[in-house]
Amino acid sequence: MAESLVTERTKLKRIPDRGTHERETIYKILDEGFICHVGFVVDGQPFVIPTGYGRIDDHVYIHGSAASRMLRNLQKGIDVCVTVTLLDGLVLARSAFHHSMNYRSVVVLGKATLVEDPEEKLTALRAISENIVRGRWDDVREPNAQELKATSVLKLPIQEASAKIRTGGPKDEEEDYSLSVWAGVLPFRLTPGVPEVDPKMSVEAAVPAYIKNYSRTPRS
């Protein structure tokens, strides 16, 4: 039986029927997103920093410059809150009060630790790269020793986590359904544009299939 992700801190209090602690749901949302927001407090000052990430099993990995204030502080074992949100649509109601958004979100709480094992560090960097563009890592030059030294990787266990999801149309007051106001959902999808070649390309290289057919659907 999978370890429960429900703790006093992750128990859903506001509209709990939209929430879940199921690992499969949480993993699917994490695997479809590619920017997380990392919240932490240093000397009483809150910070929320956006960054790329990757997931391997029950850990979220983030990376950045070894000189990064965020990474230097997180590896000290302070509390961290990592959030990922996917916007699926704008919900347009008949009243201003009932406008909303369809979304899928995840909150992970815990303490991050520095990845020091060289093999795990490289595996984590590959996972972060593959979460952004699947297939890219095998095409490019891997980080050299100097680049690895300049990069820190932290991992956060997915032990305290929850997801919230809103779907469907607006929920208006009964008396407002007779108003002559358009109501419904404006769906949102992340759609890639046409690839733009680097003007400094000095060799012939075709656009890879993983770029031409880029998709943010969760990995299988």
What's the pLDDT tens digit per position in 12-32? 666 667 778 899 999 999 999
Q: Is 11 a domain residue? A: no
**CA separation for the pair 187, 92 (Å, rounded):** 11
For the full predicted model, state whether its pTM sits above 0.95.
no
Poorest-pLDDT segment among 53-62, 148-157, 188-197: 188-197
Output the pLDDT for position 13: 62
| pLDDT tens profile 34-48 | 999 999 999 999 999
Q: Is 140 a domain residue? A: yes
**CA separation for the pair 217, 47 (Å, rounded):** 30
Residue with tokens 């990430």: 53
Query: pLDDT band at residue 1, thresholds of 50, 70 and 90?
Result: very low
Distances (CA, A) of 170 to 1, 20, 158: 37, 21, 33
Q: What is the CATH number of the domain that holds 157?
A: 2.30.110.10
| pLDDT tens profile 117-158 | 999 999 999 999 999 999 999 999 999 999 999 999 999 999
**CA separation for the pair 85, 34 (Å, rounded):** 10
**CA separation for the pair 139, 188 (Å, rounded):** 31
Q: Is 217 a domain residue? A: no
Residues 6+ apart with CB under 8 A from 122: 142, 143, 148
3-state secondary structure of 168: coil
Q: Is 3 a domain residue? A: no
Average pLDDT, integer, range 42-69: 95
Average pLDDT, integer, range 156-176: 95
Q: What are the tokens at 41?
A: 């407090």
Q: Is 2 a domain residue? A: no
Range of the domain at 92: 16-172+182-212
pLDDT, mean over the chain: 92
Query: pLDDT band at residue 190, thresholds of 50, 70 and 90?
Result: confident
Domain count for the chain, please give it: 1
Q: Is 82 a domain residue? A: yes
| pLDDT tens profile 77-88 | 999 999 999 999
Q: Is 104 a domain residue? A: yes
Residues 6+ apart with CB under 8 A from 188: 87, 88, 89, 90
Q: Is 206 a domain residue? A: yes
Q: Where are the alpha helices (DSSP H) in 8-64?
A: 23-32
